[in-house]
Amino acid sequence: MSDDRATVPLTVDADLDVEVDGHPIRVTSSEDRVFLELGSVPALVRTFRRPPAVDLRPIDATLRRADLAVELRVRHRTVAALGADTRPSSLLRRAGVEPVELRLTGLVSAIGAELASAVGRVRRGIRGLRRRTESHWRVFD
């Protein structure tokens, strides 16, 4: 299977909106990379709370033969990858999920972006509440 003669590189051009049980996943690509984009960390948790009962090893082997990789992204950060030029994570292997490469830096960065977004929403909410309270008191002045 790893024989070069049996390997035919493929190019994927994807522009697809997918919903799995109501959870949206945006599918895009860049020649030899396919990106599965989730909008937030909670969306990642919801989507993969029950991981599909699929053996990923033959998919990984096929992707490598096709010189393709699939990257799972959250908030534009890659958190996991499968296929060509990826290195299976020993942490995930111990958890029985192989041969996926876990990108810890991307995961931490995505969680940071999620927290920053949540803080921003709270700040905007407080500012809006403050403005409404001030205008309310001006009515009574």
Applying CB under 8 A, does 108 fall inside the site for other proteins? no
> Of 14 and 113, which has the nearer Cβ to other proteins?
14
Residue 128 belongs to what H/E stretch? helix 104-140
79 CB-near residues (< 8 Å, 6+ apart): 44, 72, 73, 102, 103, 106, 107, 110
114 binds other proteins (CB under 8 A): no
Distance CA 79, CA 86 (A): 12
Nearer to other proteins, 22 or 96 (CB): 22
For residue 113, give Cα distances in angstroms to 120, 129, 135: 10, 24, 33
* The only residue of 40, 43, 46, 67 in contact with other proteins, by rule CB under 8 A: 67
Position 115 contacts other proteins (CB under 8 A): no
Binding-site residue total for other proteins (CB under 8 A)? 33
Minimal distance in Å, beta carbon 93 to other proteins?
Answer: 18
At closest approach, how far in Å is the CB of 16 from other proteins?
Answer: 3
Q: Are 49 and 80 in contact (CB under 8 A)?
A: no
DSSP state of 4: G
The structure tokens 């958890």 sit at 95
Shortest Cβ 107–other proteins spacing (Å): 24
Among 40, 46, 59, 107, which residue interacts with other proteins (rule: CB under 8 A)?
59
Residues that bind other proteins (CB under 8 A): 1, 3, 6-22, 27, 31-32, 52-56, 58-59, 62, 65-67
